[in-house]
Structure 1
Amino acid sequence: MATAQTNARLAWDTVLDLGDDGAPLVARLERALRDAVHAGRVPGGSALPPSRVLAETLGVSRWVVTEVYGQLVAEGFCEARVGSGTRVATGAAAHAVPKHPARAAPVPAGAALRLDLRPGVPDLRHVPRSAWLRALRDALADAPDADLGAPDPAGHPAARTAVVDYLARARSTCASSDDVVVTHGAADGMARLARALRSAGHRAVLVEDPSWGRLRDVARDAGLVPVPVPVDDDGVDVGGLVAAADRTGARAALVTPAHQFPTGVALAPGRRDALVSWARDVDGLVIEDDYDAEFRYDRRPVAALQGHDPGRVALLGSLSKTVSPALGLGWLVLPPRWRVRLGELAGGPEPSTIDQLALGGFLTGGGYERHLRAARGRFRRRRAALLDALAAALPGLPVTGLAAGLHVVLGLPDGVTAAAVVAAAAERDVAVGDLRRYRVTASPGPASPREALVVGYGNLADARVEEAVAGLAAAVRERSRR
């Protein structure tokens, strides 16, 4: 790519080869940018082109570019600062999360399609831009001079205090501000914790099967072998987890107790107790991914597992699913022994102090909770509309998952594969997820559930629900006839 503007600190003239391997444009552009950084053609600190400029240069939609920038910022690979655009983070080449095309990608295939039924994407039309901009302005205006130096590796004290106070109110956690590390998001927090586990002698981590692939990938990249554990209607099978731990020597487990992804179940109370008891017995650690836990529509969300045993549970959280991954902010709540070990390791670039102070103001000023209340009402209504549309267009097909989160699971007719329906839906401009892409094991075996789709509604406009379901239903019927 080339533009008329050049500068020693700009990366506007870098050639990006998107290739043509059939992958979505989002995935191809993300890969091209990573490759350019890893190859040294775009050094750390370089400014990337504005999204509009890069979109025009490459002949793609601006949405494709902003989606890629948002993902890279969420990982800490890039930094987005008001007034200075998007930059490659210093040290990104060393600390980036490599891509694994064979495993579940963070942006599912069909990401650029018009009707968005992808899971794991928040409502990007309702990002609280004004509230966040006020928080940023206040942070910059009010920050004392001493705060404008290098960021604290663990995070600014004001941000950590705001996080711990919010989590105590909303998630019933038990921690002090000293136990909190401010991160670029859940993937960044998992990467830091995985490196700490590896340095402490851990060689494996138990993971739910199926589950979100990004956190498994960062654990693998840190040197930990993901060991799959099955999930059923009561959440992760703790008996199977204990057996897998005995077989492999694993003493760390990554779980989603509040709302399992992608099956949509909650961890049963007895299993919560059994999981924590296992961690105590083996001197282990439970890593709780608090994936979209704030979105429960039939009752109050269950309390975080961290509050059950703060000495054995580490909590991962972020704004990526509740607000936007483009903010690139999250938190990691650690037991004291792991906080110390994490502090002994060199980490990647920290979130900017101004962003952290803005996070603190957003939490303490009530902006975040106002946003969540509005989002819960919107998602509750949208989920109900989606279920009604699915029942009318695809009667008889099972729809499962708690009244929570941003997705449901749709079972398919016998003999119809999810992969085939995903492809047929893409031809109708509908993006949807295949449950199998989130599995750890390539071949789950004859006892595995029927073929199913993971149908998201977070980033689907209310007015498009029936249109999206009609396109999906047409794809299912087409594949049923073959």
Structure 2
Amino acid sequence: MRTSSGAGELLVELNRDSGVPLHQQLESGIRTRIRAGLLRAETVMPSTRALAQNLGLSRGVVVEAYQQLVAEGYLVSRAGGKTQVADIAVVEPTIAAPAASGPPRIDFRYSRPDVSEFPRAAWLRSVRRVLNETPYRSLAYIDGRGTIELRTALSDYLNRVRGTAARPENMLICNGFAQGSRLLLQVLAAQGRTRLAVEDPSDNDLRDVAQAAGLEVVGVPMLETGIDVAALEQSGADVVLVTAAHQFPTGAVASAETRAALVAWATARDGLVIEDDYDAEYRYDREPIGAMQGLAPDRVAYAGTASKTLAPGLRLGWLILPSWLVEPMAQAKLMDDRGSPVFDQLAFADFVARGEFDRHLRRMRPRYRILRDTLVDRLAARIPELEPVGVSAGLHVMTWLPPDLGEDALREAALQRGLGVYGLAPYWVAGDGPAGLVFGYGSLRRKEVVEGIDLLADAIATIRG
């Protein structure tokens, strides 16, 4: 690919008091940059006239320097009068050799949707409309909550699909759940909250964030009907984080009784429930279950993201906030990054409002269900003692391990076969819960799921044999 260094600019330092002729200084400066790989092969050099004017030199000095570098093989003259960096002159920067043990050939890592199915054509149509129709004033600094277009589109969508009680003025757009949860915990700590309760087991990423914000973290056991609210009441927490629609990693669904008890706890304790609704759009064997936020909008902060439904790289997330949190969160967002990119928000707003988000989800559900069914069936056929739980929704399933199989040994044996499997150990708050495996299947193909379980069965046989 041919590149250009600009119409007449080239950064070369010249010292007119050094006694070294200027053409030699120019030669040396260009030669050094080529050797370092800073001027890549086929880069078009400025014309002698333009460079002379830019550096305050006579054209003859530049011509002499170029001629010398052409003679040495660093530059080459092309038809049409262009001078370019020669291929043979480039010395590429040293790159560290990759590690001998590469990534697993088949990887059951959780939290990976199939990004190859990203709806590029529909997204491109939304981007084009936004670029053509967005008024200039929308490109100025924006409200800390995000663009009104995206907050409106998402509130309409979530109220329709997830049963929330969202209003555009109570929504905040963030760079994924990671930023939204971090800002929320910081604001809550600044308001005097002291202890965060989390489901045990649960995703471990947020615990470090909470502790950095000054909050104490306590684990609350999980029941088949959701978090143990009686244990929560004894924990002394004033904030609790739940994944009510599809608990991570067990897959448990919070019952109506558990949801009502959580709302009652928050009301009596003057507490807050943070509802992470991370993958509720993907359900296979049960009716949709609405979000808790619709039950108590002033006691539940709802968090959603496009990471599991579209692509993690979009970094698009949203919060539905109680009214008393809206202003401090908007200020925290502005202080953090001055707001998420406008064009991304407007493109997503158009994408949602025109029904493309619904169409994409309808297209992906059958694909993920086939993968889920393949995984469950292959486990039953090859490793029946690994009975999956939490299979009715989402992009992962979990299995408990029998007493004779340890997570570390199994992970190492699998990795030797090019297979990535992941244990439950990081998800226990105290680090001492029963052993198990979490299988993420969203980014795999059916044949990879089948082969992966076969490799795991072979690894188990080796450990036992």
TM-score bracket, shorter-length normalisation: 0.7 to 0.9
The 8 Å contact of residues 183 and 330 in structure 1, kept in 2 or not, is answered as: yes
| Segment drifting more, 181-190 vs 124-133 | 124-133
From 31, 37, 42, the equivalent of 1:4 is 37
Cα distance in 2 between the residues matched to 1:425 and 1:352: 41
**8 Å CA contact retained: 2:372, 2:441:** yes
Q: Which residue of 2 aligns with 1:306?
A: 293
Equivalent-residue separation in structure 2 for 1:160 and 1:425 (angstroms):
45
Q: Deviations over 1:108-138 (max 9, x none)?
A: xx99322121112111221222222322222
Q: CA deviation at 1:374?
A: 1.2
Cα shift readout 1:368-412 (whole Å, capped 9, x = no counterpart): 111111111111111111111111111233221141111111222
What amino acid is the match of 1:299? Answer: R
Which residue identity does 2:280 align to in structure 1?
A
Select 1:475's aligned residue among 455, 459, 464: 459
Number of aligned pairs? Answer: 377
Q: Give the direction of change, closer, same or farther, for the CA distance of 1:132–1:111 in structure 2 (3 Å limit).
A: farther
Q: Is the 8 A contact 2:104 2:418 kept in 1?
A: yes
The answer (yes or no) to whether the contact 2:414–2:421 under 8 Å persists in 1 is yes
Worse-matched range after superposition: 428-437 or 172-181: 428-437
CA distance in 2: counterparts of 1:111 and 1:288, whole angstroms: 37
CA-to-partner distance for each residue in 1:218-256, whole Å, 9 max, x for gaps? Answer: 2222221211111121221111111112xxxx2110110
Q: Give the Cα separation in 2 of the matches to 1:141 and 1:282.
A: 50
1:315 maps to which of 286, 292, 302: 302
1:226 is aligned to 2:217: yes
Residue 423 of structure 1 corresponds to: 412
2-side partners of 1:322 and 1:269: how far apart?
Answer: 26
1:456 match = 440
Q: Distance in 2 between matches of 1:3 and 1:386?
A: 51
Say yes or no: does 1:292 pair with 2:267: no
Match of 1:164 in 2: 155
User: CA-atom RMSD, angstroms?
Assistant: 2.2
Structure 2 CA distance for aligned equivalents of residues 155 and 59 of structure 1 = 43
Equivalent pair of 2:385/2:402 in contact (CA under 8 Å): no
Task: Specify the code of the residue in structure 1 equivalent to 2:129.
Answer: D
CA distance in 1, matches of 2:120, 2:313: 11
| Percent identity over paired residues | 41
Q: In the alignment, residue 457 of structure 1 is paired with which amino acid?
A: Y
SS at match of 1:348: helix
1:340 aligned to which of 327, 347, 367: 327
Equivalence for 2:228: 237
Flag structure 1 segments of 5+ consecutive residues without an equivalent.
Answer: 8-53, 62-109
DSSP-derived class of the 2:437 partner: strand
Q: Give TM-score scaled by structure 2 length.
A: 0.77
Distance 1:140 1:217, change over 3 A: farther
Q: Which has the higher contact order (CA 8 A, sep 6+)?
A: 1
> What secondary structure sits across from 1:226 in the alignment?
strand
Question: Residues 126 and 176 of structure 1: is their aligned pair in 2 closer, same or farther, counting only changes over 3 Å?
Answer: same
| CA pair 378-158 structure 1, distance change in 2 beyond 3 A | same
Change (3 A) 1:359 1:243: same
Match of 2:32 in 1: none
The TM-score with structure 1 as length reference comes to: 0.75
Unaligned runs of 5+ in 2: 1-34, 41-91
Name the larger-Rg structure: 2
CA contact (8 A) 2:305 2:316 kept: yes
